[in-house]
Chains A and B, each alone.
Chain A
């Protein structure tokens, strides 16, 4: 376990800011305690300092996970956001997409969202902007990237993809083995 280097921190923040913009400040600087990011076996974990201090008592091989895993760094040092970060992305998301109850299941199985399944979308979403996907009952389902701008979404035909799927909460069951 070690803290992130400057390059790694920049890469991670750039990725996070695609979804939550400048609200990352609220993750770093929290009123209810000091929380920090630590790297363990190429995965980034977000935890409070109390948990961190407890985790130092576990050996490196035996330590599986600490706090919440935000994502991992690939071999070429690219940062990949995992579904386990959803709890921290959802409240601070800048651009949101609501999906109709009919195609909720389709999204949870890992498919992209088509125009027919789109319920609502925030105004002025740019193309390829990072978005957080909610159900109509405001339950966060996952996140993805907007395939079309809000304007284009109105004009496009019902079978066109409007949101690319990147992660959904169905992964907790599908990729149970790989999530930590």
Chain B
């Protein structure tokens, strides 16, 4: 009896093992196409519509994905492997599927000036070696660039030619010539690029900027006006043109020890201006006075004409202040001095 139980268990285990093995092998009608370089599996098997009926589509898709992934993994195991840090790694081959272009095909560039000339003259491009034998240093050096074979600027001895000035620095001359050649080369390169991209480059001066603000235009106008032989003195003005302000960068001050009388006069004039700006009547005081007067009048009129003497005194007080106490703007003054106006 025990043996039969054991047998049953063994049979069960075997079945499970077989099941597992079975799941590794997948049966498909049409074989899949693989591009292991891109880890791509291409399944051309037709899909049954019945599998997509309500509820069953999830499991169908899951089983489909599982089967195809299994087949792909099988393919990967077929590749040659190597061990990297105790991990088995498969070496992927080159991808065979052609991916579409990311960017459009580049347009053919227009030929540079040299290329046009070469085509015209029928000059062919000669293949040159990268390295040249340098006799002096007895080694192979580059044809051009860093540590090149025949470097003009690295000569340690230059004979002064008979025709030139003995005090002239020949080394500096060579360096300058080299710099000029580099600059000219760069300029030609940029011009070629400009021609290729159809950008307009002016022959002399700066290229025009696209959108200029009002101030920039005004500045350009004033600069253009000034850039004449007489510094803009005889240029006609447009009918509504205003003279430009802030022309120079430096502020101009009066001289340190100028005419002291003129300075004094100017300061006195400024003082007069300041005085004129200040109001001559103190508005709050005027309003208070007005209110006090009105109170007094009201009181006197109530008490009768017997107290007429007081009125005379009041006029005396009024004379002391300001030019004339007219009915100033009441709104402002009254608010701030309301407390004072009340009879204490």
Contacts and interface: CB of A to CB of B under 8 A. Distances in A.
Contacts, number: 51
A127 B266 CA distance: 32
Interface of B: 253-258, 260, 263-264, 266-268, 270-271, 273-275, 282, 284-285, 340
B interface, over-half SS: helix
A98 to B, nearest CB: 23
A75 interface: no
A9 interface: yes
Interface in A1-58: 1-3, 5-6, 9-10, 13-14, 17, 22, 24-25, 28-29, 34, 36, 38, 49, 52-53, 56
A28 B255 CA distance: 18
Interface of A: 1-3, 5-6, 9-10, 13-14, 17, 22, 24-25, 28-29, 34, 36, 38, 49, 52-53, 56, 124, 126, 151
B268 A56 contact: no
Nearest to B268: A28
Nearest first, the 9 A-B pairs at minimum CB distance are: A3-B254, A2-B253, A34-B260, A28-B267, A9-B270, A13-B274, A10-B270, A28-B264, A24-B271
A6 B282 contact: no
B254 A2 contact: yes
A34 B264 contact: yes
A47 to B, nearest CB: 12
Nearest to A24: B271
10 contacts: A2-B253, A3-B254, A13-B274, A22-B275, A25-B271, A28-B271, A49-B257, A52-B257, A126-B282, A126-B284
A2 B254 CA distance: 7
A25 B253 contact: no
Contact of A53 (B257, B263, B271, B282): B257
